[in-house]
Structure 1
Amino acid sequence: MHTLGVISDIHGLFRDETVKLLDGVDHIVHAGDIGDPKIIERLEATAPVSAIRGNIDGEARAAIYPDTLRLTLFGHEIFLIHDRNDLRSGLIEKSVSIVISGHSHRASIETLDGVVYLNPGSAGPRRFKLPATLATVHICKEKLVPTIHPII
């Protein structure tokens, strides 16, 4: 079994509790709105990181991060996009197991047509009276088990 750490919308605020919740994951994906490139360095101290930029990251600060990313980890194809509303018809192929997004700051997990759609919520400053959260995905062969974790 492998564990994927999923985080988004840090907006430059790195909480120590984040490291505790991600301790032991095999890989971390960041779905944008990093806010400060040093955030990625801090996450890389825990596990390898794949990241995309979000709407607050701007061209200059996050030019090294793409708008979207398709990668294969632990036998599953993963698609990252910051705002799920930007998904165009036909963009998600049948080979994709999980779509990870952020932007809304609302944590959610749903499955549509066999694809898991995961938004880990926001791990940064609390907004809209929503809790700070992140997610993990336990991967065991074909099975994906996503879980939302509050950051206390």
Structure 2
Amino acid sequence: MKQIGLLSDTHGHLDSVALKHLKECDEIWHAGDIGNMETADALAQIAPLIAVHGNIDGQEVRSVHPKHQRFTCEEVDVWMTHIGGYPKRYDGNVKPEIFENPPQLFISGHSHILKVVFDKDLNLLHINPGASGIQGFHQVQTLVKFTIDRKDIKDLQVVEFGKKGRV
């Protein structure tokens, strides 16, 4: 069993509330727009980090964190990418593979909109954790925590940090 902390779109900013929640996790997953290697390194000091780069990430981040991560956690097939779209509106970046070989859990960021949707057609859970940073149009900083226990994804919790930009 693993407790996962999932975030995206930090844009180089790590909030102390987010860090407190991530310290409870066995692994941290970042769905892109990390911002810089200092942010990635700080997360990796808390727990093992699995991350993808996003569209704002520079060459240093891109050289370490790929565009796509496809991996198994416990017994769950996971695919994480920054720009992936949503059920019924998947991005060309993931077509046709998502239809030919769908994962059990599909994670993307980019939109800064927190969404958890089950795709009945592909029998997969899609999670976008929203945005944990302070750059962008979102009003509330968010991350998602959940547990993977063998084949089960459970105990999903949305963590809201309050209003973006508060001190």
Q: TM-score, normalised by structure 1?
A: 0.91
Q: Is the 8 A contact 2:105 2:125 kept in 1?
A: yes
2:162 is the counterpart of 1:147: no
Q: Is the 8 A contact 2:8 2:131 kept in 1?
A: yes
Fraction of identical pairs, as percent? 28
Report the residue type matching 2:130 in the other structure: G
Q: Gaps (5+ residues) in structure 1?
A: none
The structure with the largest helix share of the pair is 2
Q: Which residue of 2 aligns with 1:99?
A: 106
Secondary structure at the counterpart of residue 45 of structure 1: helix
Report the residue type matching 1:22 in the other structure: L
Separation of aligned partners in 1, 2:81 and 2:139: 21
Q: Gaps (5+ residues) in structure 2?
A: 85-90, 163-167
Q: Which residue of 2 aligns with 1:77?
A: 77
Count of residues in correspondence between the two structures: 151
Separation of aligned partners in 2, 1:101 and 1:69: 11
RMSD between aligned residues: 1.6
- After TM superposition, give the deviation of residue 13 of structure 1 in Å: 0.8
2:22 is the counterpart of 1:45: no
Q: Which residue of 2 aligns with 1:57?
A: 57
Q: Is the 8 A contact 1:106 1:130 kept in 2?
A: no
Report the residue type matching 1:143 in the other structure: D
Spell out, residue by residue over 1:88-143, the C-alpha distance to the aligned partner (whole angstroms, 9 max, x if none): 1233524x210111000000001113211000000001532431001112122322
Runs of 4+ in 1 over 6 A off after TM superposition: none
Separation of aligned partners in 2, 1:75 and 1:139: 8
Q: Is the 8 A contact 2:78 2:106 kept in 1?
A: yes
Q: Which residue of 2 aligns with 1:10?
A: 10
Q: Which residue of 1 aligns with 2:87?
A: none
- After TM superposition, give the deviation of residue 148 of structure 1 in Å: 1.9
Report the residue type matching 1:133 in the other structure: T
